[in-house]
Amino acid sequence: MSSILRDLRDVGWLIDAGGQAEITDEMRHLRSQPLRLRQQVYIEGRLEAEYTWYTSKAARFARMASRWTAAAFIATSLGLAGGFLRAFGLLDYDGLGSASAIAAAVTAWVQLKQYRPLAAAYSLTAHELLLVKAGLQTLADDEVQWSRRCSEAEDAISREHTMWLARREAA
């Protein structure tokens, strides 16, 4: 936990936990429950929520990439059409340069925002979570295997979080 707080401070965030304990009474109570109940709570409360979040973010970034790519294509097409019309004397305005500049700016924006790589990274994390969830649902009452599978899920989330921090620091 301290390394996460240190990482967040490194990117300039103000952390205020409100003085709450890291392990709440509800968490202690849940830890004393049978494995099946803990599995159900973890799968529904953590894995499914994270899976939903990552898939929605992946879809959002894929949509953004498609929209901006379409905008660049439209600007390029309009510029080419304007260039042809000017070449044949049907248009007095030379829009090819303007349209090219717009298309280049949109392309640079898409590259800067990294929409496609983000969509791919979030999709991969969601897929990893789905695999871990499937593995957790088929476990017998084995605390060691349960712990290992939960660790795999948290590692997948942690990897993406680390990459997110790196992208924020690079920006």
pLDDT at position 171 over 80: no
3-state secondary structure of 37: helix
Between CA 75 and CA 167 the distance in angstroms is 29
Question: Considering the entire predicted model, what is its pTM?
Answer: 0.72
Per-residue H/E/C for 4-35: HHHHHHHCCCCCCCCCCCCCCHHHHHHHCCCH
Interatomic CA distance for residues 48 and 132, integer angstroms: 11
Token pair recorded at residue 127: 């897929």
Q: What is the tally of helices (H) and strands (E) in the chain?
A: 7, 0
At CA 52, angle to CA 51 and CA 56, rounded to 5? 115
Distance CA(4)–CA(15), nearest Å, equals 11
Q: C-alpha dihedral over 45, 41, 136, 141, to 10 degrees?
A: 170
Has residue 15 got a pLDDT over 80? no
Q: Does the pLDDT of residue 12 top 60, yes or no?
A: no
Domain parsing of the chain, residue ranges:
35-170
Residue 52 makes CB contacts below 8 A (sequence gap 6+) with none
Helix, strand, or coil here: 93?
coil
Q: Which amino acid is at 105?
A: A
pLDDT range class, residue 13, cuts 50, 70, 90: very low
Mean pLDDT (whole number) for 18-43? 82
